[in-house]
Amino acid sequence: MSRKRAAPKRGLSGLVALFFFLGFGLLALKRGTLESAVPALALPAVILLASWLLPLLFPLDRLLLSLVSFLSGLGILVLYITDPSLALHQMAACGVGLAAMLCSASFVRLHSRRSGWAMILGVLGLTLLCLPVLFGKEMYGARNWLDIGALSFQPSEIVKPVLVFCLAAWMSERRILPCLLFSALCLLLLMLQKDLGTALLYFAVALLIWWMASGSLSVLAAGLLGGGAAAVWGYHHFAHVRRRVEIWIDPWKDYQNAGYQLVQSLVAIASGGLFGVGLGLGAPDSIPIHTSDFIFSAVCEQFGLIFGACVLSVYALLIWRSASVARAARYRFHGLLAMGSALFLGLQAFLIIGGVLKLIPLTGVTLPFVSYGGTSMVSSFCLLGLIQGVESLNREALDGDAHLAMLGT
Amino acid sequence: MKRQRYRIKLIAMLLILCFLGLAAWGAWSVSHYGNRWFSHAGNVRLNALKKEVTEGDILDRNGILLAHTNENGVRVFRESAADRSSLVHILGDRQRQIANTVESLQAGYLYGYQSSLPDAVYRLIRKTGRCGNNVSLTIDADLCTEAAAAFMRHEKTGGRSGAAVVMNYRTGEILAMISLPSFDPDNVSEEIIGALDQPYWNRALQAQVPPGSTFKMVTAAAMLSRGSAGAADPFVCSGSLEVSDTFTVHDFSGVSHGTLMLSQAFTRSCNVFFASQALKLGSDAMQAAAEDFGFNRNFLFRDLVVSNSAYPRGAQSPAALAASGYGQSAITLSPMHLCLMTGAVANDGIMMEPRVVRSVRSASGAGVLSWSAASLMTVCEPSVARQLQLLMKDAVQGGGSGAAAAVTTLDIRGKTGTSESTDHGSKVNYGWFTGYNAQTDLPVAVTVLVENIPDGETGGTTAARIVKDIFTYIRNHPDRVQ
C-alpha cells in the first residue's frame, strides 16, 4: 500500500484564483464603483493564501482544497450578483468553515483511540437533534431550525460529521448494536422534524457505510427493501411527500402555485442554454430560493449547461479523490471516515441537482459548499476536514515508510 | 481491509456514474424541451424580451408567410379571412386566448433569446434592431383552408364544430390541423365569440371524446396479438347481446349481421362481435392493448401539447368491458391521438412523434434548428399491423362502412366511428373517420371528428366525405405535402 499519488502543485488554486479575479473584476467594471473591486482582489488572495498557509500546519490534499475553494467561490460569486450582503455573510461562513475543517482534521489526527469519543459525540449529536423537535421553528414545512439568541442554525447539518465519525468508529470495531441504535434514533428524530430530505440522506449514508464495512449484501438488500417500504409508507402518510411527487411528475399543471419553484428552475436552466446568458445577466431573482436549494439553476442560467456539467464533474472529482484517500488509509476506521464524508457531500449534491433538473423529486437539501447558509457551510467543511485528517495521517505514514526504507539501505 | 478498499472503489464509481447520468439527463432534457420550458408563460425573461426584439416570421412548409411583424411592430397574418381562421388554432390569436400555439410554444425561438455571434455581427452591419428567428412549420396552410372548407360543404347541421388532423405517418410531420368553430383573429368581436361554441378551444389537441368504432382497431389488435380464438372462428351475430340485466349491446339500427369472421365484423363495424371479444379478452388484456396504443400515457411532445387519452384502469364491470370493445364506456381520446394511432398502424406498428416545427433560421439565414423524425413507440407487431391494414382496406374499398372516403387512384384505408357522450346532461353524438393512404410516395393519415351529428347519421357519412375531400386535395397537389 505504498502507492505514491501525485500531489498537485499550487497551479490549480492559481487557476481557481484567476477565475474569480476575472469574474469579480468583470462585475466591478460593470458596476464601476471602487468598493465593488474589493472582492475581486480579496477572494483570490484568500484562496491563494489558504492553499499556501494551510498545508504548512500539517499535510493536506491540495486538490481537494482547490476543488472546494472553486465551489465556495462560485457560491459567493452567484450570491454577490443578487445580494452583496449575502455574499459577505457567505465569505464569513467560509472563514468559519476553514477553521472548522482544521479543527475536525486535527481531531482525527489526535484521536486514534476513538471508542470513548464516539460515544460522547453520539450522545451530543442526539441531544442536538432533539432540540428542534422541542424548541424548533418551522421553515418550508420542516421543523429543523433552532434559534439561540441571534444565532439560528440547523442541528441536522452539524450532526452529519458526527454520524460519519460514530458509524465509522463502531463499524470498524464491528459493534453493530450502537450503530443500529444511533442510526435509528437519528432517523426517528429527523422524521419528527419532518426533514425528510435529510432523513433520506442520513439513511443512504448510514446504509452504505454499513455495507462498506461489512460487505454483507443481505444487509444492503434488507436496508434497501426497508427504505423502499418506508418511502411507500411516507408517500401514503405525508401529504407533502405526495405533493412533491405530483410536482415532480407534472410541475406545469399548477405552475403558479405548487409547481412554481420547479417550473422557474427549469425555465431558468432552459434560458441559459449551453453557454449561459452571461455573468450578472438573466433573471436569477425570478427563481425562488435561488440562494440555497436552487442555486444550481442560477449557476446554469448565467454560465450555461456546459459549465453546469463542469460543476458536476468537480463533485465527481471530489468523490474520486476522497475515495483514493480512503483507499490509502492504513486503518479500516480511517477508510470508512473518509469515504463516509465523501458520500455525504456527493449524495447531497446529487439529490439537489437531480431535483432541480427534474430527474428525481425535490428533497430540499442544500448544494454542499455552494448554497447560502452558515450551518450547511460549516458542516460541509467539517466533513472535508475528516477527509483531510485521514489524508494527513496517510501522508505521514508514507513519509515514515520512506524514512525506514532509507535507513534500511 | 482489502475488501473494504474494493468496496470503497465500487461505491465511488457508482456515485460518479450517477453524476454522469445526471449530466446526460440534463443535456437530453434541455435539448428536447428547453425551448418549450423557456417559452412557458411563467417566464419573466420573455416579457422583458418582447419589448425590445422584433418577433420572427412564421412560414408554412411551402414558404408561404403566415405571420410577420411589420415596420410598425404590428403582427400581420395571411390576407384572406378564411385562411386566417383556419390557421388560428395553430398560430394563436392576438389576445393569446388559445393555449399552446406556435406563437406561445415557440416564443423562445421567435424572440431569439439566445442570438449567436454571427447574428450580432449581422445586426451591426445592417444596423437593424434585434430580430427573432424565423420558424418554418410542417403545415401546408392551403390544406388547412381546404379542410375547413370541406367541413362547411358537408356538414349541414348548424354547429359546424369538429376537428381534422392530417399527418405524414412515416415522419410525424403534421400537414394540417384545424379546429371548428374557428374565428378570424383580425375580426374578433364579443358577439361572434359569444355566439360560437368554445372557439378558443383547440379540439384537435384538447378534445377528449369517446372514439366509438374507430377503437375496434385496438380490440382487433388485442385479438390478433394475443392469439385470441375469435380471430379465426366464425361468430354468429343476432343483432344484440345481453351482457347483464340492465345492459344489452345493440348494433346500429338493430341489424343482425348473421355469421361473420373478424374481417366481416370489422368492415361492417359489428358492435356485438367486438363486445363479446372484449369480454373474452378480459379487462387486463384490453387495458394492455390500449396502453400499447398510447392510452393512459403522459404525452410529452416537443412542439405540441396533447390531452392524455384514457382507458379504464383495473377490473371493469362486464357492461363497461363489453362497451369498451367498440370504443364506448369511459374511453376518451383526442383527434390527434387517433391520427397517431392510425399512422402507427399504417407505419407497420411504429408511432412517430408528431411535429409542427420544420426548421428555425436566424434573421441572417443561419440554421438554428432543423427538423428530425423520431419514433415514439411501437404499438403492435408488424405482422399484426399488416393484418389491421387489410381490415381497414376492406372497410373502405371492400364495400364496408367507410366506402364514402374512397378516392380513385389513391389506396385509402380507414375506419368509421360513431360515439356518444353526455355534455352537461345533454347527449352529444360524434362522427369519426380515421384513415390513411397506403401508397408509399404519399404516406398521409387523416383523422376527422364531427361533433353534434344528428341522430341517424354516422361517421361513415359526413366525416368520411370530409376525409375524401382532404385526400382529393392531397392527390391533386402531391408536391405540396411531400
The reported pLDDT for the residue numbered A152 is: 74
The reported pLDDT for the residue numbered A2 is: 42
CA angle A177, A167, A215 (to 5 degrees): 80
Cα–Cα distance measured from residue A238 to residue A236, given in angstroms and rounded to the nearest whole number: 6
Residues A260, B114: C-beta atoms closer than 8 Å: no
**Which positions 144-203 of A are in contact with B (Cβ < 8 Å)?**
none
Residues B16, A322: C-beta atoms closer than 8 Å: no
Average pLDDT over residues A115-130: 85
Query: Which secondary structure element, helix H or strand E, spans residue B59, and what is its range?
Result: strand B58-59
* Minimal CA separation from B345 to chain A, in Å: 29
Residues B43, A271: C-beta atoms closer than 8 Å: yes
Checking if the pLDDT of B333 tops 70, the result is yes
Query: Which secondary structure element, helix H or strand E, spans residue A148, and what is its range?
Result: strand A142-148
- B400-427 per-position pLDDT tens digit: 888 888 888 999 999 999 888 877 777 8
Checking if the pLDDT of B192 tops 80, the result is no
Residues B8, A327: C-beta atoms closer than 8 Å: yes
- Please count the other Cβ atoms lying within 10 Å of the Cβ belonging to residue A253: 12
The reported pLDDT for the residue numbered B158 is: 47
**What separation in angstroms does the CA of B66 have from each of B82, B160, B166, B304?**
13, 24, 18, 18
Q: What is the DSSP string of A308-346?
A: HHHHHHHHHHHHHHHHHHHHH-SSHHHHHHHHHHHHHHH
* Minimal CA separation from A38 to chain B, in Å: 30
A262 near B CB under 8 A: no
The SS3 call for residue A106 is helix
The reported pLDDT for the residue numbered A216 is: 86
Nearest chain A residue (CA) to B24 = A309
- A18-38 per-position pLDDT tens digit: 999 999 999 888 888 888 888
Residues B22, A213: C-beta atoms closer than 8 Å: no
Return the DSSP state at B354: P
Range of the domain at B220: 162-170+205-356+375-481
Contact B249, B241 (CB under 8 A): yes
* Minimal CA separation from B15 to chain A, in Å: 7
A258 near B CB under 8 A: no
Residues B16, A319: C-beta atoms closer than 8 Å: yes
Residue B396 lies in a domain: yes
Query: Which secondary structure element, helix H or strand E, spans residue B175, and what is its range?
Result: strand B174-180
Cα–Cα distance measured from residue A188 to residue B133, given in angstroms and rounded to the nearest whole number: 55
Residues A354, B22: C-beta atoms closer than 8 Å: yes
Average pLDDT over residues B160-183: 93
Residues B11, A312: C-beta atoms closer than 8 Å: no
Cα–Cα distance measured from residue B412 to residue B151, given in angstroms and rounded to the nearest whole number: 19
Residue from A203, A208, A228, A230 nearest A219 by CA: A208
Residue B272 lies in a domain: yes
Q: Domain count of chain B?
A: 1
- B139-153 per-position pLDDT tens digit: 999 999 999 999 888
Name the average pLDDT for chain A.
Answer: 87
B120 near A CB under 8 A: no
Residue from B143, B114, B123, B170 nearest B360 by CA: B114
**Proportion of chain B above pLDDT 70, given as a percent:** 95
Tell which wins on pLDDT, B458 or A352.
A352
Picking from B16, B26, B45, the nearest residue to A316 by CB comes out as: B16
Cα–Cα distance measured from residue A241 to residue B3, given in angstroms and rounded to the nearest whole number: 38
User: Beta strand B426-437 with B444-451: parallel, antiparallel or unpaired?
Assistant: antiparallel
CA B401 to chain centroid, in Å, comes to 23
Tell which wins on pLDDT, A31 or A352.
A352
User: Beta strand B375-378 with B412-423: parallel, antiparallel or unpaired?
Assistant: unpaired
**Which positions 219-258 of B are in contact with A (Cβ < 8 Å)?**
none
The reported pLDDT for the residue numbered B355 is: 93
A126 near B CB under 8 A: no
Residues A339, B11: C-beta atoms closer than 8 Å: yes
The reported pLDDT for the residue numbered A140 is: 65
The reported pLDDT for the residue numbered B20 is: 95
Checking if the pLDDT of A1 tops 50, the result is no
With beta carbons under 8 A apart, name residues in chain A contacting B23. 308-309, 312-313
With beta carbons under 8 A apart, name residues in chain B contacting A260. 42
With beta carbons under 8 A apart, name residues in chain A contacting B15. 316, 319, 343, 346-347, 350
Average pLDDT over residues A231-257: 85
Q: Which residues contact A179 (CB under 8 A, 6 or more apart)?
A: A166, A167, A170, A171, A206, A210
The SS3 call for residue A113 is coil
CATH of the domain at B453: 3.40.710.10
Picking from B7, B21, B40, the nearest residue to A267 by CB comes out as: B40
Q: Where are the alpha helices (DSSP H) in A111-154?
A: 115-135
Nearest chain A residue (CA) to B45 = A283
pTM of the model: 0.78
Counting one residue from chain A and one from chain B, the pairs whose CB atoms sit within 8 A come to 122
Range ranked top by mean pLDDT from A79-83, A342-346, B107-111, B299-303: A342-346
Cα–Cα distance measured from residue B405 to residue B374, given in angstroms and rounded to the nearest whole number: 29
Q: Which residues contact A17 (CB under 8 A, 6 or more apart)?
A: A43, A44, A45, A47, A48
Tell me the angle at which helices B2-38 and A305-328 cross, rounded to the nearest 10 degrees. 170
Residue B213 lies in a domain: yes
Contact A247, A258 (CB under 8 A): yes
Residues B26, A269: C-beta atoms closer than 8 Å: yes
**Which positions 413-442 of B are in contact with A (Cβ < 8 Å)?**
none
Nearest chain B residue (CA) to A319 = B12
Residues B108, A270: C-beta atoms closer than 8 Å: yes
Checking if the pLDDT of A191 tops 60, the result is yes
Residue B24 lies in a domain: no
Exposure b/e, B29-54, CB count within 10 A at least 16 = b: bbeebbbbbbbbbbbebbeebeeebb
User: Beta strand B58-59 with B134-137: parallel, antiparallel or unpaired?
Assistant: parallel
Q: How confident is the model at residue A409 (pLDDT cuts 50, 70, 90)?
A: low
ipTM over 0.95: no
- A364-398 per-position pLDDT tens digit: 889 999 999 889 999 999 999 999 999 999 888 88
Residue B282 lies in a domain: yes
Cα–Cα distance measured from residue B312 to residue B90, given in angstroms and rounded to the nearest whole number: 31
Average pLDDT over residues B240-264: 80
Q: How confident is the model at residue B220 (pLDDT cuts 50, 70, 90)?
A: very high
Residues B4, A215: C-beta atoms closer than 8 Å: yes
B24 near A CB under 8 A: no
Exposure b/e, A371-408, CB count within 10 A at least 16 = b: bbbbbbbbbbbbbbbbbbbbbbbbbebbeeeeeeeeee
Contact B40, A255 (CB under 8 A): yes
Residue B441 lies in a domain: yes
